[in-house]
Structure 1
Amino acid sequence: MSKQALQTLGEFIIDKQDDFKYSTGELSRLISSIRIATKIVNREVNKAGIADIIGNVGNMNIQGEDQQKLDVLANDIFIAALSQREVVCGIASEESDDFIEVKCTENAHLSKYVVLIDPLDGSSNIDVNVSVGTIFSIYRRVSDPGSPVELRDFLQKGVNQVAAGYVVYGSSTMIVYTTGNGVNGFTLDPSIGTYYLSHENIKFPTMGKIYSINEGNYAKFPQGVKDYIKYCQEEEGDRPYTSRYIGSLVSDFHRNMLKGGIYIYPQTSHSPNGKLRLLYEANPMAFLAEQAGGKCSDGFKRIMEIEPTELHQRVPFFCGSAAMVTQAEEFMAKAVSKN
């Protein structure tokens, strides 16, 4: 198909605007702001090897993790892009201790939306040229427009999301998002800086043959996860499954959504509450998974039904092809019942 026949992301946003129940144009402008920021981040990621933006900055973020130079740069780029177009009243980032009230435009406080973002997921892999990504989640505020944004605007269940998505900066750069009407992916043509619709109405295969987990932590996993891994490795029927783990959530999720598989980041004896962040990683990925016909839970209950209690809350994460997640949950429940 010629480029002239392909639909751009901008055209797609306009065409689909009426499918969104709160359609006012504001959400469309918000997603356009994210689109612009991803192009700038993509440029920086692609020159990381020749610019002084590899390595850590000597600081730790609120999670106690070393901040990479690109973490800080990507964070600044997204905050700037979202703050200057009167489309959001507040931003919460994985890289910031607290949420940010947007005040830099006269009418920003009237905006109806807040954005939660992981600016550069998997950034520790950047210096070895492994794919990294951005994850974003969008909610309508629950406090009154015109008043200062509040913590409760961000501490909402995943079921309240109005849009979510991710960008994968890899062999090609893609933005994949949903507004609750299916999942669509757009690939960047770097020669002209335009995203084109390349993956329409993406669906998770109901069953897959890939399991993604850091097996180096096997000894620390709960018994149910250990039992499920053994099940995946058994030679029976269509098993053994294939183990594929990149260590970048966006990349592992993206592959599994296209090919079929399950991604697991469980609680461990060292991290009893899990490691992934509910608001910046688990909820947006759960929204995308469910919109694509997949399933996402903490091993026992639906991720998007969890009531957040803090901005940087962590959670165990089982996400992917629906039948595989159900299987893993059965192993978890069986192990608990034995104790």
Structure 2
Amino acid sequence: MSDPAPPPQVHAPAVIRILDATANRAAEALRVVEDHARFVLDDSHLTEQWKRLRHDLTTALARLPASMRAECRQTQHDVGTAISTPSERQRAVLDDVLSANLARVQQALRTLEEYAKVPLAPLVPDTEALSAELEAMRYRSYTLAAAMEVLRLSHDRLQSVRLMVLMEGQDEPKSFEQLVTGLFAAGVPAIQLRDKHLADRQLLDRSRRLVALARKHHALAIINDRADIAAASQAHGVHLGQDDLSVALARRIVGPQVLIGVSTHSLAQAQQAVLDGANYIGVGPTFPSGTKVFDHFPGPELLREVTQQIRLPAFAIGGIALGNIGRVLSCGITRIAVGQAITAAPDPTRTAREVLAHVGQAIA
């Protein structure tokens, strides 16, 4: 017959010391990460998310009375305070600070979660519920950490992409290739193939042609809606609407290296796209367009809201043309997606150059 479990008061001081020290470690690391989102990334949305997580942790740990934590604290006799490694004293770049503290947050939350499972009643009631809350917070930290890494990678890959041209597959492959070649020759850094009428085989054919020409010109080929076509043609990215596949499902199809963009029509949708792991967002519709019908146009005001709160690469979408580019860029957005205003122009190549010049002047 096994020995009965020791009463809570036997192991309580050690457990409370662990919870106290680890709670401090988690809160400190969360503050460092929050400050990185605030001052380095200048991202209001991610800053708010990390701050909310930090405050939720404080609320959850309020079950441990401050007096009890203080009574069990033995900092002067803690053997761990004198143990360190050389890497702890060195941070070569800002990203090293972020990486170290993201790991510290996640490790600390796991420690809190595990030791909160130890019964401490009547000193601390319902530790099982506390452990479950801490587990949920740990998973939230994974989501936020991934969003910050995606943000960094996306800025690296899209740094020079200020214009994305939206186009259909054309009636004939030859005319399609001529238009694509002219746009890339004009300096267009990304083309998104969006065609609701071509049969799948034709769409795959156009996608492969677009990808081949994009690689030749060191540009990006993005496929609208169809993650399967993007994967089959080895495109650089896929663009999803609000009613299309989720980012997570699309990622399973296209793999880790492919860009995923998401159309967003409200600030809440833009914020969710960040947490979902999108590489970039389309924001709009800004104005009525000839390719899509919308009942509501958020307009330039949505562009202002998004640029003030989100640092993920964002393209203004919807009815953008030479005549309103200045109004769009004055909202603070630095990327635009343009369709028929370029592809249906008498000289698409020349018009693309003019649009690029406008964008370049605005962000210089």
TM-score > 0.5, shorter chain as reference:
no
TM-score (norm 1): 0.29
Structure that is richer in strand per residue: 1
TM-score (norm 2): 0.28
Which has the larger Rg? 2
Structure that is richer in helix per residue: 2
